């Protein structure tokens, strides 16, 4: 892996006219959303939960969402990336009640949202609809702050955090490496793996070296400035995380080099999050402090301060606003205004093509904690013969690396396979004409007359009718052989990325798993 990274050029623009238009449309859009919540979502909540949950009130207030600035990056002749900042801040009136009498209630009185929404348009076509697919995702977790009312005002520890975590979990399904792919063109020949997936751009090496002036979770009443913690770190980027070792009885810990994490990066705006925690897992819990501080920094911020291929150590101030300061010693750094900090060592590893000479010149064994030699990209396209019942609930691929003499690496998962909306008849005729052709053919209208009626090429109509006939025959034959047991085609068009340290001895494992995580079968 090399360590050279060229900044991509981009164009930035405000969206004043969009926000002006949205200001006029938002009252109607907000009313439509509120009606949907009251009329449809409430009934689903009532029927799907044992507590008869329903929205007693739902109003988004007078705030209007705003968009911009927007950055447009052209990655290639067939690929454009739009990065759009989105904001919404308003006093709201949302009340969720439970029980027949509504005695249990949870209210939200203010909502503040900020996120950078990314839209990838690819491939760009020379025919309508110009764009083959749109990939939608957030590079980093959007920031959504809720101010609660109702039951959360009562002394019920942890309820507000659980609700906040549940809402954040909804957004995390669109945070890289997760994304949503919307196919714009119906011609699947225009779509490919490259059109419907995101490939990584590099690997980030991260090591939390030490902590300085961390909060002291353990202290005794009456003791003067005698407080310690058992700190460890949880380092996250995207869907991958690393838990470091615990350093006991200190507020200035040093973590070993073995606690180094390697993260596969898909977008420079992805965030590295470091949660410094207190390990209080004895037989009896002695304190309830938990979080000692948090750091969030984007990959682009780290890269802007790096020095080419060299490792760099930077000191960062932790956000301690969520630390339970009331449970700390009065002289604790968090209570006296002394900043809690960590030293973060990092290095950017960019992809470089592997060469035969690189492999031939390796005359030394891999070190136990050496940098990864590369990334294996496992391409998932499509397949047939998947059981319909399991496929409708969701079938995913689980992929992991097994290296000689080492424990299995953490697995990565694909999204659920998607079934085709219609059989692929390999024709350029629009889908909307297929039904018309079927109806006319059922009335014994010949291909030439059908082509004249729908103003299409006769050869295309004949090709469609022949392909449709073969499809009907194959379906009849399948039912004759297997009864009504339904098997279906699924497509993924996705790339799974896994780190490889020892390519000569590593084995890639790939298994199909159902919605419950049960292995349906390995792919040998």
In this prediction the pTM is: 0.71
Q: What is the pLDDT of residues 21-56, one digit of tens each?
A: 888 888 888 888 877 776 666 665 555 455 566 777
Where are the alpha helices (H) located in 337-457, listed in sequence order?
356-360, 388-393, 431-442, 447-454
C-alpha to C-alpha distance for 270 and 238, rounded to whole angstroms: 7
Cα 132–181–495 angle (5° rounding)? Answer: 100
CA 197 vs. chain centroid, Å, equals 12
DSSP 364: S
Q: ω before 249 within 30° of 0 (cis)? A: no
Interior angle at CA 203, CA 202 and CA 209, nearest 5: 150
Indicate the pLDDT class of residue 279, thresholds 50, 70 and 90. Answer: confident
Q: How far apart are CA 132 and CA 122, in angstroms?
A: 6
Decide if 245 contacts 255 (C-beta within 8 A): yes
Measure Cα distances from 113 to 61, 98, 116, 167 in Å: 14, 26, 10, 12
pLDDT score, position 196: 65
Residue, of 402 and 310, whose pLDDT is higher: 402
Chain segment 282-320, per-residue pLDDT in tens: 544 455 668 899 999 999 898 887 564 578 899 999 998
Q: What pLDDT does residue 359 have? A: 47
Cα-based distances in Å from 232 to 59, 172, 210, 220, 515: 42, 24, 10, 22, 33
List 349's β-bridge partners, or say none: 203
pLDDT tens-digit readout, 420-454: 655 666 676 766 677 788 888 888 888 898 888 88
Q: Under 8 Å CB-to-CB from 194, ≥6 apart: which residues? A: 122, 123
Q: In angstroms, rounded to a whole number, what is the distance separating the alpha carbons of residues 57 and 155?
A: 23
Q: How is residue 236 written in tokens?
A: 């996250």
pLDDT mean over 381-385: 83
Angstrom distance (rounded) from CA 447 to CA 445: 7
Beta strand spans in 339-387 (E): 341-350, 374-387
* Cis amide prior to 177 (ω within 30 degrees): yes
Among candidate residues 323, 331, 247, the one with its CA nearest the CA of residue 291: 323
More confident position, 86 or 183: 86
For residues 479-507, average pLDDT: 78
The answer to whether 210 and 233 have CB atoms below 8 angstroms apart is: no
Instruction: Report pLDDT for 188.
Output: 59
Please compute the mean of the pLDDT values over residues 460-489 and round it to a whole number.
77
d(CA 96, CA 56): 6
With tokens 């969520």, the residue in question is 322
The string of pLDDT tens digits covering residues 187-200 is 655 666 666 677 78
Q: What is the DSSP letter of 153?
A: G
DSSP of 234-278, one letter per residue? EEEETTEEEE-----SBSS-B--GGG-EEEEES-TT-EEEEEEEE
Each residue's pLDDT tens digit, 220-265: 665 556 778 889 999 999 878 889 999 998 989 999 999 999 999 9
B/e letters for 77-93, b = 16+ CB within 10 Å, e = fewer, are eeebbebbeeebebebe
- Residue 288's pLDDT is 60
Q: In sequence order, what are the beta bridge partners of 499?
A: 375
HSE toward the beta carbon, residue 202, CA cutoff 13 A: 20
pLDDT number for residue 364: 41
- Quick check: bond before 430 cis, omega within 30? no
Closest alpha carbon to 365 in 311, 403, 409, 411? 403
Range of weakest confidence among 3-12, 88-97, 334-343: 3-12
Pick from 90-94, 150-154, 224-228, 480-484: least confident: 150-154
Give the whole-number percent of the chain exceeding pLDDT 90.
Answer: 16
pLDDT digits (tens, 9 = 90+) for 125-164: 877 778 888 888 998 888 888 888 765 444 444 556 666 6
Calculate the average pLDDT of the chain.
78
Question: Which residues, 6+ apart, have CB-to-CB distance to 451 below 8 Å?
Answer: 457, 458, 460, 461
Residue 195, pLDDT score: 62
Respond yes or no on whether the N-terminal peptide bond of residue 19 is cis (omega within 30° of 0). no
Residue 46: its pLDDT value, please? Answer: 58
The pair phi, psi for residue 183, each rounded to 5°, is: -80, 120
pLDDT over 70 at 269, yes or no: yes
Find the range with the poorest average confidence among 49-63, 86-100, 436-450, 489-503: 49-63
CA angle, 200 then 201 then 203, to 5°: 85
- The token pair at 40 is 């449809």
pLDDT > 50? residue 5: no
Q: If you average pLDDT over residues 372-398, what whole number do you get?
A: 85
């Amino acid at each position: 892996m090399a360590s050279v990274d060229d900044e991509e050029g981009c164009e930035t623009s405000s969206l004043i006219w969009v926000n002006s238009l949205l200001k006029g449309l938002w009252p109607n859009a907000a009313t439509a959303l509120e009606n949907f919540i009251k009329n449809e979502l409430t009934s689903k909540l009532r029927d799907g939960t044992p507590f008869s949950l329903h929205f007693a009130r739902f109003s988004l207030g007078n705030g209007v969402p705003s968009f911009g600035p927007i950055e447009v990056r052209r990655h290639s002749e067939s690929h454009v990336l739009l990065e759009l900042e989105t904001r919404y801040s308003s006093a709201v009136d949302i009340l969720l009640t439970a029980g027949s009498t509504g005695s249990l209630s949870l209210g939200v009185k203010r909502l503040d949202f900020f996120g950078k929404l990314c839209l990838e348009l690819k491939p760009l076509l020379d025919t309508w609809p110009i764009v083959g697919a749109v990939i939608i995702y957030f590079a980093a977790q959007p920031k959504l702050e809720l101010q609660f009312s109702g039951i959360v005002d009562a002394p019920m520890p942890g309820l507000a955090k659980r609700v906040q975590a549940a809402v954040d979990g909804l957004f995390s399904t669109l945070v890289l490496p997760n994304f949503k792919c919307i196919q714009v063109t119906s011609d699947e020949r225009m779509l490919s793996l490259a059109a419907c997936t995101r490939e990584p751009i590099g690997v980030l090496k991260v090591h939390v070296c030490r902590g300085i002036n961390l909060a002291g979770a353990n202290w005794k009443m009456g003791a003067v400035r005698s407080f310690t913690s058992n700190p460890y770190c949880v380092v996250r980027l995207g869907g991958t995380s690393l838990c470091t070792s615990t350093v006991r009885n200190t507020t200035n810990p040093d973590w070993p080099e073995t606690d180094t994490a390697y993260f596969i990066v898909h977008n420079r705006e992805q965030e590295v999050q470091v949660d410094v925690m207190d390990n209080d897992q004895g037989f009896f819990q002695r304190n309830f402090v938990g979080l000692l501080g948090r750091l969030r920094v984007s990959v682009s911020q780290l890269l802007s301060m790096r020095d080419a291929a060299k490792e760099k150590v930077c000191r960062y101030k932790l956000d301690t606003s969520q630390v339970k300061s009331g449970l700390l010693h009065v002289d604790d750094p968090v209570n006296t205004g002394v900043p809690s900090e960590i030293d973060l060592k990092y290095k950017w590893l960019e992809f470089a093509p592997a060469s035969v000479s690189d492999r031939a010149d390796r005359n030394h064994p891999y070190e136990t904690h050496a940098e990864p030699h590369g990334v294996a990209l496992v391409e998932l396209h499509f397949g047939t013969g998947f059981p319909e019942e399991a496929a409708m609930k969701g079938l995913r691929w689980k992929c992991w690396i097994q290296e000689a003499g080492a424990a299995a690496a953490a697995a990565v998962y694909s999204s659920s396979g998607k079934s085709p909306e219609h059989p692929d008849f390999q024709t350029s005729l629009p889908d909307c004409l297929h039904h018309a052709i079927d109806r006319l053919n059922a009335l014994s209208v010949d291909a030439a007359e059908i082509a004249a009626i729908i103003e299409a090429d006769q050869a295309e109509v004949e090709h469609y009718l022949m392909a449709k006939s073969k499809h009907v025959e194959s379906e009849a034959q399948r039912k004759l052989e297997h009864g009504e047991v339904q098997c279906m085609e699924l497509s993924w068009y996705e790339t799974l990325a896994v780190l490889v340290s020892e390519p000569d001895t590593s084995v890639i494992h790939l298994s199909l798993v159902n919605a419950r995580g049960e292995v349906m079968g390995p792919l040998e």
